[in-house]
Homo-oligomer: A and B are copies of this chain.
């Protein structure tokens, strides 16, 4: 493999590199390791404290790097945050994308709810990262919301509306249905501290109860009469 000479490597090297061309194969082993360590550490810190609450020192410590070394890979705190969000966006929206016109509509939606609930259990940091952003007015991701997200939601809302028109599902507002699914499932990640404070559950056992409850909630509300 040819070793590429990177021009103007002095002050903003890998950052733009990793943004413009996230091609994993073009990275050094060391870059590979450190960049993923940084993004993992940043996920920890940003999701727990929000953008402004997070400090570069915290991220550096969590990634076992010095602060200048951190800034060797990403040119600023903002750059880390941006890279993190754009890396996670696809993962985060994947479940909604799989909502498909094939299959029984009610089952299809309940399956979506269950997938979202699984994600709240498996990827709570990711959920809180976005929650922190949005609750503070979505200053860094407003373009994502206005763009790809709105497009995707419009598309799936149309599908749900079609199901309703065909009487295969109760006639409900599709947008508010989607909002309610986001709210009820992500609640278990975003407000975990409250849920655990009130339930004091053993392990993650309360997720099973939540799954049962949400299945009942959406199945009864969506089954056409």
* Nearest-Cβ distance from residue A97 to partner chain B, whole angstroms: 16
Which 10 A/B pairs are nearest by Cβ-Cβ distance?
Answer: A183-B187, A176-B213, A145-B197, A52-B53, A183-B183, A138-B193, A220-B221, A217-B221, A180-B184, A173-B213
Do residues A198 and B145 form an inter-chain contact, with CB atoms below 8 A? yes
Whether B198 and A175, one on each chain, are in contact in the complex, defined by CB atoms closer than 8 angstroms, is yes
Assess whether A13 is interfacial by the CB under 8 Å rule. no
Which residue of B has the minimal Cβ distance to A212?
B173
Tell me which residues across on chain B come within 8 A of A145, comparing CB atoms. 193-194, 197-198
- Flag if A131 contacts B135 (CB, 8 Å): yes
Residues of B within 8 Å of A177, CB to CB, are 213
Contacts of A212 in B (CB 8 A): 173
Interface residue A209 (Cβ < 8 Å from any Cβ of B): yes
Contact A193 B52, beta carbon cutoff 8 Å: no
Say how far A55's CB is from chain B's closest CB, in angstroms: 10
Of B135, B150, B193, B197, the residue contacting A128 (CB under 8 A) is B135
CA distance A198 to B155 in the complex (A): 12
Chain B nearest CB, measured from A125 CB (Å) = 11
Q: How far is the CB of A179 from chain B (nearest CB, A)?
A: 6
Chain B residue numbers with a CB within 8 Å of A89 are none
Given A52-B50, A183-B184: A142 and B221 interface contact (C-beta under 8 Å):
no
